[in-house]
Structure 1
Amino acid sequence: MSVLVQMAMFPTDQSESKSEYVAQVIKVIRESGFSYQLTSMATIIETQKMSEALGVIQQCYEKLEELGCNRVYSTLTFDIRKNHENRLVRKIESIESKIGKVAK
């Protein structure tokens, strides 16, 4: 199974710039060992089980809590597909096979 989760998570009770906090969230994701892709608006993580995806999300929240954040905003979008894997890469390859390399 492949669980893709697109998430954004940041505190709303801290400074105007969120990059310091987002960097700590990305560090948690990186250290999880799961494949991920950072974009300018969200991060996409691929796990094999829903429980793994939810566990990483929980760890991200706990990191912000540890940093003294009292109010956290988060968006989550899931794409769950049985009998597939490596969709973080394969979905892009599917588009590129039809129209060529996409800008990055």
Structure 2
Amino acid sequence: MITADFSILPVGIDNTECKEFVAKAVQAIKDSGLNYQLTGMGTHIEAENYAQLYDAIAKAQEAVFTAGTDRVYTVIKVDDRRDRENRTLNAKIKTVDDMLE
């Protein structure tokens, strides 16, 4: 399981509000069918392979362009762990939560 955290930022828009751009990007991720978690600072996503991952992020980036900007800045952090199976986003969180109890 590959997990990633990414943020897509529109550049050169007229104000500081980004919610319309975020909504378009998240809708593209939702449409991909991949598991994702929206956070206040970005989006976490799970994929079985790089093709799925990068295709979904590319579609989200394209959605931001379509929403009305001519430039975007995208930051992607990828965790590709191959020594353990089923390291989903929720499994990673549960591991830490279990240690806190």
**After TM superposition, is the score higher than 0.5?**
yes
3-12 or 65-74, which deviates more: 65-74
Correspondence 1:74-89 to 2 at 5 A: 74-82=74-82, 83-89=84-90
Correspondence 1:1-104 to 2 at 5 A: 2-14=1-13, 15-82=15-82, 83-100=84-101
Q: For residues 16 and 55 of structure 1, what CA distance do their matches in structure 2 show?
A: 28
- What code does the residue aligned with 2:93 have? I
- What code does the residue aligned with 1:36 have? Y
What TM-score does the superposition give when structure 1 sets the normalisation length? 0.88
Percent identical pairs in the alignment equals: 26
Q: How many residues align?
A: 99
What TM-score does the superposition give when structure 2 sets the normalisation length? 0.90
Deviations 1:30-60 (A, max 9, x none): 1111111111001000000011100011101
Contact 1:8 / 1:76 at 8 angstroms: preserved in 2? yes
SS at match of 2:53: helix
Structure 2: gaps of 5 or more residues: none
- What code does the residue aligned with 2:92 have? K
SS at match of 2:3: strand
Q: What is the root-mean-square deviation of aligned Cα atoms in Å?
A: 1.3
